[in-house]
Amino acid sequence: MLKPLRAQEADIVFLQTPSSRIILPEGHTDVIKTVQFSPDARKFVTVSADGTAKVWETSSGKLLLNLKKQGEGESMPVQKAMFSPNGASLFVYHLGGYHKRLIQLKTGLALNEDSIPGPSDIIQFSKDGNNYVSLGDIYDAKNMKFLRRLKGIENNVLFEGFNTSGKTIVVCSQNDNTYKTYLRVFETRTGLPLTANMSLRDTPREIRFSLNGQRLIMISDSVIIISDANSLKQLQQIPIKEKQETGLMETVLISPGADYQLHLNGKTYTDSSGEYPEEFVNYDSVTVKDIKTQKTIFTRNHLDANNLDQFDLFSPDGKTLLLPFADSTIQTISLANGQTLLSIKSWSGIIDQARFSSNGKSILTVTSDHIIRTYRSNSNVLISELKGHTATIYSACFSADESKILSAGADMTARVWESSSGLPISVASRKTTELYGARFTPDGKNIVIETKEQSITWDIQAAKLEKPIDAEKKERGDVKLMQIMGGDDPENAGYKSPDGQYNILWHHPKSIIVTQLASGKQMFLWNGEMEHFTGVAVSPDSKKLLITSEYNVMQLLDIRNGKVLFTFVLIDSSNFLVTNGKNHYDGTKKAREMIHFICGDEVIELSQVKEQLWVPGLAERIIAGDSINAVTLEQLNVCNKAPLLEDMSTDSLYRFRITPRNGGIGKTVVGLNGYDYREFETKELTKTGTAYEIRIPASEMRTYFDETNSNQITVKSATAKNDLPSRTLTKTVYFNAGKKTAPNLFAVMVGTSNYKDDKMDLQFASADATKMASTLEESAGKLLGKEHVFMYTVTTDNKKLYPEKATIKNIFSEISKRAAPNDILLIFLSGHGVMNEKTKEFYYLTVDATSLVEENLFKNAGISMSELTEWIKPQSIKARKRVLILDACQSGQAINDMLAFNRNMLSVKGDEEARQIKAIEKLNEKSGLYILSASASTQLAYESEEYGHGYLTYSLLKGIKENPAILEDGKYLNITRWFNEAAEMVSELAKKDRSRQEPQVVSTSQFNIGLVDQELIQKIQLLSPKPLFVPGNFLNRDEAIADDNLGIRKMIDGDLQNSPRKRAEKDSLLHTVRLTGSLLPERKLYGPGKRDRL
């Protein structure tokens, strides 16, 4: 591997051979002024008032390249950035110092830099993008190689450009001594002049080629000259008359084809509202002349044009004029005869911008209400409205093929839209959170982070950010977190570590020196990659150093050697990511979706390497000194490895092309609305040259579409070894099948209390299913309508629907004929759950079961999770939202069973907790199920007379009855809040009994399943916890008798049996009451009688 070369404009290190590096989210911190698509529209560039430019991926809005200010003290902000015609490179111009660079996008390297004074457009590409010329030097644009210098130009280049063929270059240059201006044509191949110097009387303010490239147009303050672009022979000279009257302004423009001459007339005015007065021109009339005859063709009055840069005055073919008028309209006018072709009126704001598409067939407008609208240029019928921006839109444009629109502005976001529908494609919005400092809590277990808006506590062990301590905005300097920030000279502050061994000298803003006090030895000098340190803190044990940056990054260092232990990235008050030097990572799900790797200009999403590089609990393990043995990013060699996917679909056929790369091609999965629709092996794909294709008739998939929402079709293809998946291709389809109806709820509520073997009987499983059924039926009926709720209550108390395996299977078969994609399927299973120790598969035992231990009987009498998954797979039951509640022992194993590939998961050996976390998230992605299991895979699940239900069922019912926090808007039963609350309550109930039961929750999305009101709450009757009594023991004090000769025990037990209090079924020692005594009773507290569901 070659030595890294730093891209001089960026904060990213690239290698000359493909390598990968993590890209952290860093967005613009000020308004975005201009945007531009690359020629193929796969990328776009934004330039902001914050002095930076950024290159983004169009399809995802992911950051590819970050171009920062240059020069000492960052005195040179980026003013302009533009793609080369072939999209291979990017030209960047920095204001102040005239710093110009050309960046090769494949590598990010800036191999051409100039600091010679000159305008920002002193770089011109040939039409094919193969060459460019800059200040008289010709370069090969593919490899940035210098080719030759033009011979015979003056030292101050004002203009240079290739003709249409690219074979010649026209240069306008000026002699710095004589100030004479010359025009000359050069041969590109040799750099030699083809014409003599043509002396110009006036220095042109604009020079450009005509549309066909055959004529050269030069406009100065006093004259317009049109010449032959090859010989420089003057074809026409048009004088410009200066307006004599004060306050009046005339601007002369030439049409792209050099056929027409425009005279825009207006009045000047001064705007003094800002810090400095600015002068503007408001044009109120236009006159168009034939350039050859100088005859006036037409004149239009009542214009309202004060910012011509925001309007494409000419159509791409140069035949149509576009102008804004005072009546809030824009009009397109034929230049040949002055006929109005189109008039578009704005009813919702002033039209600030108007642009043609590249073929001239469409027009977009931007209005002051932050909405973009598109029209056909031959009709004023609205095509689409693009809504999403929340502030002024400064820049908007079409892609070259007209299929997309790019926009950006004062809300600091750049948005990509589908032009035909107005639907959003991606948003580039990564506003940086400004960190003011951080400190360890005294116990060293947590870190308090100070931002401009609030204080946030990072609970490292729980891997979450606590709610903000306050929301009061701060000013820099208000935060005195550390002694280092409290000195008289914070820019050169020093302070001792808590143990007195080290001195930390912070030289603001980029240097830190750590010295050992006893020996005076410098431990390390830190000049890290982070920019603008804002705070330094030492851990309580004096072993680690915490550094925060002005942006959203914090790093933890080993104080002995300066080694970076991990980097922490704050996304917002709830989301963060942690990564180490080997690119292992951890963080919240939202943060992990926002951050990615790049190999040159290839994006590698974290989800692609999740199995190998995601290390749950990474920060906690690093702080504890654990070794992280997972494979590294470098070992994975992910560059150019995973297959590339391309959507080639039509309205009638969903067609996806898969191009294998270095890793070959393996299994391909097509998903629909969050679940796996179909898997394809390589042999099932259609071979087309070096690529493969998946072809699925649209009519086939549409039977599974949700008519009430957009539908997401996803495609993901793995390498031949199935060790690296491709990026997920997502296609959004909007399908309207007609009148929308409310979804139906199909609920299968199974409770098995009585079994063929009476010893297996349970008390409350049937009651659990019955009570849950009645509660859900009423709650869902209030939300969806009773006619949309279909309840199947299958219990041993219901002889019509008895919990036999065949009966349950038939119910699912019936639902499969009725359920639609926008429906809800809910399954509740209460009873005995067992795990086959040989196969490690979970079974829910039906009424047919005769044993809890004879594993050979489980298959016939129980329902395995693989069977259940097959019965309810989306191809059979189309309901998009699906819920499974398991109130049975070892039900957490069901999660692992449904994760078919879990046994082959790549993970750190011995890292069981991390493996479980990964398994649950993987199931979340694959199954489409929302699962609540009563216990983990090795735990029991309890029922109790004290509550009259299983712990899980009791907690679910109590949550509805007593906890309004689970309700959305105070009335809607939100399934996520409901399940999470029940899981916490079950754990608390188990702790009271000195046992352990930890429900497992796997969620896919949030939705409301019912409505809760006072009527429903009153109908939920729960047992109040009562004391449970076990048989007492009463002895005569007379040692000679030493027995209950008075029969007190029998009398009291008899009374308790007939009282409202409960008598425990077995002599449990937890939370029960035993009455004992001789003459005086003694009361002792133990635990309730309970039974596990095993």
For the residues of 164-227, what is the DSSP string, one character each? TTSSEEEEEEE-TTT--EEEEEEETTT--BSSPPEEESS--SEEEE-TTSSEEEEE-SSEEEEE
Q: Phi-psi region for residue 475, left (φ > 0), alpha (ψ -120 to 50) or beta?
A: beta
Does pLDDT of 688 surpass 80? yes
Average pLDDT, integer, range 632-638: 87
pLDDT score of 18: 43
Q: Dump pLDDT digits (tens) for 409-447.
A: 999 999 999 998 898 999 998 666 778 889 999 988 899
pLDDT score of 74: 65
- In whole angstroms, give the CA distance from residue 192 to residue 185: 9
873-882, 892-901, 1038-1047, 1054-1063 — which one is most confidently predicted on average? 873-882
Average pLDDT, integer, range 856-877: 87
Partners of 960 in the beta sheet?
A: none
Looking at the domain that runs over 745-1019, which CATH code has it been given?
A: 3.40.50.1460
- On whether the CB atoms of residues 886 and 826 are closer than 8 A, the answer is no
Say if strands 32-37 and 502-507 run parallel, antiparallel, or are unpaired.
Answer: unpaired
Q: Which CATH class is domain 644-734?
A: mainly beta
Average pLDDT, integer, range 565-584: 90
Q: Dump pLDDT digits (tens) for 441-481.
A: 998 889 999 887 788 999 998 888 886 544 444 444 433 33
- On whether the CB atoms of residues 1023 and 1083 are closer than 8 A, the answer is no
Does pLDDT of 807 surpass 90? yes
User: Mean pLDDT for the chain?
Assistant: 81
Q: What is the CA 128 to chain-centroid distance, rounded?
A: 36
Select from 86, 43, 94, 87 the least CA-distant residue to 67: 94
Residue type, 943: E
Between 1 and 1046, residue with greater pLDDT: 1046
- On whether the CB atoms of residues 125 and 166 are closer than 8 A, the answer is no
Do 241-345 and 435-570 show the same overall fold?
A: yes
Partners of 263 in the beta sheet?
A: 252, 287
- On whether the CB atoms of residues 324 and 296 are closer than 8 A, the answer is no
Query: DSSP H helical segments within 788-911, as ranges?
Result: 805-816, 858-861, 865-872, 893-898
Confidence of residue 1087 (pLDDT cuts 50, 70, 90): very low
- In whole angstroms, give the CA distance from residue 976 to residue 1002: 10
Does pLDDT of 484 surpass 70? no
- In whole angstroms, give the CA distance from residue 981 to residue 999: 11
> How many residues does the structure list for the chain?
1094
Q: Dump pLDDT digits (tens) for 772-797.
A: 999 999 999 999 999 999 999 999 88
Q: Where are the domains of the chain?
A: 241-345, 435-570, 644-734, 745-1019, 1028-1092
- The conformation of residue 244, written as its DSSP 8-state character, comes to -
* Spatial CB neighbours of 178, under 8 Å, sequence gap ≥ 6: none
Cα distances from 110 to residues 2, 14, 55, 144, 707, in angstroms, run 17, 11, 14, 9, 50
pLDDT score of 675: 80
Does pLDDT of 482 surpass 50? no
- On whether the CB atoms of residues 550 and 531 are closer than 8 A, the answer is yes
pLDDT score of 1046: 67
Say if strands 553-558 and 544-549 run parallel, antiparallel, or are unpaired.
Answer: antiparallel
Say if strands 234-239 and 223-228 run parallel, antiparallel, or are unpaired.
Answer: antiparallel
Lowest mean pLDDT among 463-472, 802-811, 970-979: 463-472
Residue type, 118: G
pLDDT score of 366: 95
- In whole angstroms, give the CA distance from residue 534 to residue 543: 20
Average pLDDT, integer, range 498-518: 81
Q: What is the CA radius of gyration of the chain?
A: 37
pLDDT score of 915: 54
Average pLDDT, integer, range 280-286: 90
pLDDT score of 108: 75
- In whole angstroms, give the CA distance from residue 411 to residue 430: 11
Between 1072 and 353, residue with greater pLDDT: 353
Does pLDDT of 954 surpass 60? yes
Residue entry with tokens 């249409």: 164
Looking at the domain that runs over 435-570, which CATH code has it been given?
A: 2.40.10.480
- In whole angstroms, give the CA distance from residue 250 to residue 252: 7
Count the alpha carbons within 13 Å of 82 in the hemisphere toward its beta carbon.
Answer: 13
Mapped onto helix, strand or coil, the DSSP state of residue 607 is helix
- CB burial string 398-419: b at 16+ within 10 A, e below: bbeebebbbbbbbbbbbbbbeb
- In whole angstroms, give the CA distance from residue 331 to residue 302: 12
Cα distances from 776 to residues 462, 475, 784, 793, 794, in angstroms, run 33, 51, 11, 11, 15
Q: Dump pLDDT digits (tens) for 341-351.
A: 999 998 777 89
- The conformation of residue 725, written as its DSSP 8-state character, comes to B
Partners of 490 in the beta sheet?
A: none
- On whether the CB atoms of residues 665 and 680 are closer than 8 A, the answer is no
Structure-block tokens of residue 117: 């004074």
Average pLDDT, integer, range 1015-1028: 80
Q: What is the CA 695 to chain-centroid distance, rounded?
A: 29
Between 1064 and 891, residue with greater pLDDT: 891
Confidence of residue 11 (pLDDT cuts 50, 70, 90): very low
pLDDT score of 354: 95
pLDDT score of 99: 73
Whole-angstrom distance between the N-terminal and C-terminal Cα of the chain? Answer: 58
pLDDT score of 1055: 60
Does pLDDT of 34 surpass 90? yes
- Return the percentage of the chain with pLDDT > 70, whole number: 79
Separate counts of helices (H) and strands (E) for the chain: 15, 81
CA quadruple 759, 763, 765, 769: dihedral sign: positive
Q: Which CATH class is domain 241-345?
A: mainly beta
- In whole angstroms, give the CA distance from residue 774 to residue 765: 15
Q: Is the peptide bond before 277 cis (omega within 30 degrees of 0)?
A: no
pLDDT score of 740: 62
